[in-house]
A and B are shown apart, each in its own frame.
Chain A
Amino acid sequence: MRNKRFFSRLSDFVEYGSFREEEYTLSPSHKANIDTDTPENRWLTSVQHSERSAPVRLMDWLKLRGFEVFNNLYRIASVIICITLIAVLLSVVVFLPPFGSDDNPAVNEVVERYVSKTVEETGATNSVAGMISAYRGFDTLGEAHVLFVAACSVIVLLRVDPSERRRGRLVDPGMTGEDLDFEPNSDLILRKAAKLLVPLSFILGLYVILNGTTSPGGGFSGGALMGAGLILCSVAFGFGRTQRFFGDGMYHLVKTVCLASYALMMAYFIFMGANGFDDHVWLGVPGSIISGGLILPINIAVGLEVACTMYCFYALFRKGGL
C-alpha cells in the first residue's frame, strides 16, 4: 500500500473524485528508519551523488512526498478555482449597470404594472405578496412543493418506526435516551423564557401570516416563525408536551389538507383565468386583513404547511419521528 503514492492518488481522484488520506501518510516509524533502503534515503543519496537520472529521482521524490504534494496541490487547486471563478464573475460585474440607479434594465413596464396595479388587480397592498401569490402564483406553488419533497426525503432518511422506538426504550431507556427519547427539560431559565417566548412567537407568526397582504411577510415567514415557536416549545417542555396536540397523524392531516387545498385553489384560479372566465373571488378591502382575494387563504395554507414542516424537520432530527 505504501508505494501507492502520487500517481495512484491522482488516478483514484480522477476516476472516483476522491481519495483517502490515511493510506498514504507516512508512518513515523517509517520516517525514523534511516539505515534501510527507503525511498527517502535513496532519494537523499541520489541527490547527493547525482548518480541517478533526473526522472528516476523525480519518481522517487514523488513516491516519498506524494501525499504532501497531493494535499498541497488539492488545496492550491481549490484556491485557484476560487480565485478564477471570482475573477470571471467580477469581470461581469464591471460591465453591469450601476447599483441603485433608477434606469437599470430591471426597472421596466413589468415592475410598473406590479406596483401600480397590484391593489386594483389582486387586492393586496404588499405588492410582493401580490406578485408571488397571484401574478406568479405557479412558481410559488412549485416552491411549496419543494419544501414538501424535502420533508418527505428527510422522513425517508431519518424516520424510525414508532413500534421500534417504543421497543428500544423498553429495552434500554438510557441508551436510546440521547436521540430517540424526549428532550431533557431540566433547564429552569429555558423554561421560564419559553413560557414567554412560545406564545409570543405563535402570535407573531399568526400576525405575519394574516397580515401578509398588507405588510411584510406572508405564509413562508409567518410559518417559519410558528415552526420556530413549536420547536422552542418542544425544546423547553419536552416532546411529550407537543406530542399531545401535534403528533404524526396531525402532521399528515395538516400537510395534506394545506397542500391539496393550495393546489386546488391555484388550479381553480389558473383554470378560470386561462379560459377567460370570471373567477368570482371577492378581493376584499385593500389595506384590511380580509383583502387580496385568494392570497389570504393561500397564505394560511402555506403558513400552516411551513410551520409543521419546520417542526417535523426538527423532530425527525432529534428523535426520528413526530
Chain B
Amino acid sequence: MPDFLMNLFTNYYETAAMILFGIGFTTLLTHRNLIKKIIGFNFMDAAIYLFLAAKGYIAGRLAPIIVDGNTDPSNYVNPIPTGLVLTGIVVSVSVTAFMLALTCRLYDRFHTLDIDEITHLVRKERD
C-alpha cells in the first residue's frame, strides 16, 4: 500500500471527519431544501468537532478527570479539544434553532421549503 494511503488509514478519524465535512458543506451549499441544508450544516460542524477531538486523543490514556490526586499529565488525554468542542456544540445548536425559526417563517409566507423557489417568488414580487 502506498505511503499516503497508509497515512489516511492511520488517521482514520480525521479521514472520516474530512469526508463528512465535504458532504455536509456540499449539502449546505447546494441542496435546495432548507431543512436538508440545516441538517447538512449540523453534519459539517460535527465533522469539525470530530476532527478536533481526534487531534486531542492519545491512545491508552483516560479522560482528563483527575482521580485520586494523580496529576501526572501522561495519564490523561488532552482536555483542550474537549473544551473547544463543548463551546462549538452550543454554537451549533443556537444557529440551528435560528435557522429552523427562519424556515418556519419562510414556509408560513411562501408554502415551500425550496430556497430557489422562494428567492424566485420574492424577486417576482419585487418586479
Chain A residues close to B by CB (< 8 Å):
16-23, 74, 77-79, 81-83, 85-86, 89-90, 92-96, 98-102, 104, 106-107, 110-112, 114-119, 125-128, 131-132, 136, 139-140, 143-144, 146-147, 149-151, 153-154, 157-158, 214-216, 218, 220, 286, 306, 313, 316-317
Contacts and interface: CB of A to CB of B under 8 A. Distances in A.
Contact of B76 (A115, A132, A139): A115
Contacts of A147: 90, 93-94
A241 B74 CA distance: 51
Given A99-B54, A317-B104, A93 B18 contact: yes
B66 interface: yes
Given A16-B119, A89-B21, A131-B80, A125 B66 contact: yes
Contacts of A286: 66
B63 interface: yes
B26 A78 contact: yes
A81 B66 CA distance: 45
A85 B25 contact: yes
Contacts of B97: 150-151, 154, 313
Interface in B49-97: 54-59, 61, 63-67, 69, 71-74, 76, 78-83, 86-87, 89-91, 93-95, 97
Q: On chain B, which size bracket covers the interface?
A: 35 or more
B8 interface: yes
Majority secondary structure, B binding face: helix
Given A81-B29, A89-B18, A128-B82, A157 B105 contact: yes
Contacts of B56: 106
A146 B91 contact: yes
Nearest to A77: B30
Nearest to A152: B98
Nearest to B6: A94
A150 B97 CA distance: 7
A101 B55 CA distance: 9
A176 B86 CA distance: 39
Given A74-B30, A99-B11, A143-B90, A119 B65 contact: no
